[in-house]
């Protein structure tokens, strides 16, 4: 049997996972561009496994300084805690410091080396001030985790140009802004590792209803791979992490393109079909600490991989994708998003 003829039980499971990604980026009860800053802090429900793990204490020359963007909730929140619990002096940065209460309480309770800093990745001055403040205190930055971002949903034709620009301003230009601010520090110290949180949707090759979001993640992957060649001579490594479906506020905070919410949109039925039955799939998603563990593994490995998957769903999906040809995979995608 050739790969292009593959169609078995595993194939049907693959379809289910793909629907999970598609639906997760196309819910109907999501934000509009006008209230993009109104998210709430994720509750700390997924920390039992982390708390049970032994932590590493770094002292003297072993101390490492980590900076994590988008730390108020979800992946950034768990990654900041995970790094701190494993001995990294961690600067948990976020746009809105009003969302730092949980982080500060846990840091105090567990005596964690976490320092919260205000950093809005869309603001030049905010980024400059935050990085200057961190280097004034710590003298160096060993790890940068670029995590901050959001999702924009809607069929490509329904996207307004300003909505796409806003998506790129945060997900791409924000990433560039922070990374360029940190690079001179790492280059001067001749060491460092940059971990860029991408998305499993890139590994999938894209999904309908999220072309703007997925394209920003493709941009991050292209930038990451290209600058890795430039930075290697300076002792700086670049790593990509592609998470699957993760149980975070990300899905509650997705921005819906205004036109996509019009019931008269020619794509309205497609989006509604994709949204049906999403909640049970999200409940079975991975917890954010799965991604945090991958990040920790990357930054503590002397020879990290260039790319990591994070989550059983995306790992299973990629196994299935590798067992079929591109034409079969694309055909399956079309059939199942139209049904």
* Domains, the chain, ordered by start: 3-338 (3.40.50.720)
213 is catalytic: yes
> What's the token pair of residue 237?
């490594």
Give one DSSP letter per residue of 89-157, joined into a string. Answer: EEEEEES-GGG-HHHHHHHHHHT--EEEEE--TT-HHHHHHHHHHHHHHHS---EEEE-----EES-GG
In degrees rounded to 5, what are phi and psi of residue 20? Answer: -55, -50
Burial 97-128 (b: 16+ CB within 10 A, else e): eebbebbeebbeeeebbbbbbebbbeeeebbe
State yes or no: pLDDT of 240 exceeds 90.
yes
- For the ranges 128-142, 182-196, 228-242, 264-278, which has the lowest average pLDDT? 264-278
- For the ranges 60-74, 137-151, 317-331, which has the lowest average pLDDT? 317-331
The neighbouring-strand residues paired with 117 are: 93
Q: Which of 213, 251, 267, 308 is catalytic?
A: 213
Q: Which residue has the higher pLDDT, 204 or 90?
A: 90
* Residue 250, pLDDT score: 64
- For the ranges 140-149, 206-215, 317-326, which has the lowest average pLDDT? 317-326
- List, for residues 199-231, the tens digit of each pLDDT value: 988 988 888 888 999 999 999 999 999 999 999
Dihedral Cα 149, 151, 156, 160, nearest 10 deg:
-70
* Residue 40, pLDDT score: 32
* Residue 279, pLDDT score: 64
């Amino acid at each position: 049997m050739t790969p292009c003829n593959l169609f078995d039980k595993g194939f049907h499971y693959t379809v289910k996972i793909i629907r999970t990604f598609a639906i997760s980026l196309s819910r109907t009860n999501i934000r509009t561009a006008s209230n993009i800053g109104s998210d709430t802090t994720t509750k700390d429900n997924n920390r039992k496994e982390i708390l049970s793990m032994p932590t590493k204490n770094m002292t003297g020359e072993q101390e490492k300084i980590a900076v994590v963007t988008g730390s108020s909730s979800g992946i950034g929140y768990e990654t900041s805690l995970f790094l701190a619990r494993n001995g990294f002096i961690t600067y948990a940065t976020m746009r809105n410091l009003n969302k730092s209460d949980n982080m500060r309480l846990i840091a105090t309770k567990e005596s964690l080396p976490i320092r919260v800093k205000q950093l809005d990745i869309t603001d030049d001055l905010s980024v400059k001030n935050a990085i200057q403040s961190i280097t004034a205190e710590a003298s160096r930055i060993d790890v940068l985790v670029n995590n901050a971002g959001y999702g924009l949903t809607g069929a490509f034709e329904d996207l307004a140009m300003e909505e796409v620009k806003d998506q790129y301003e945060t997900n791409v230009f924000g990433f560039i802004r922070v990374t360029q601010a940190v690079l001179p520090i790492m280059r001067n110290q001749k060491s460092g590792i940059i971990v860029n949180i991408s998305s499993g949707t890139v590994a999938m090759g894209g999904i309908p209803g999220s072309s703007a979001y997925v394209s920003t993640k493709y941009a991050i992957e292209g930038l990451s791979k290209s600058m890795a060649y430039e930075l290697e001579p300076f002792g700086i490594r670049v790593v990509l992490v592609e998470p699957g479906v993760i149980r975070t506020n990300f899905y509650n905070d997705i921005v819906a393109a205004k036109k996509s919410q019009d019931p008269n949109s020619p794509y309205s039925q497609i989006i509604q079909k994709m949204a049906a039955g999403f909640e049970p799939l999200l409940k079975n998603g991975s917890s954010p600490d799965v991604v945090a563990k991958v990040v920790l593994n990357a930054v503590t490995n002397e020879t990290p991989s260039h790319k990591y998957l994070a989550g059983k769903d995306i790992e299973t999906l990629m196994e299935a994708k590798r067992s079929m040809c591109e034409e079969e995979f694309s055909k399956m995608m079309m059939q199942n998003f139209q049904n």
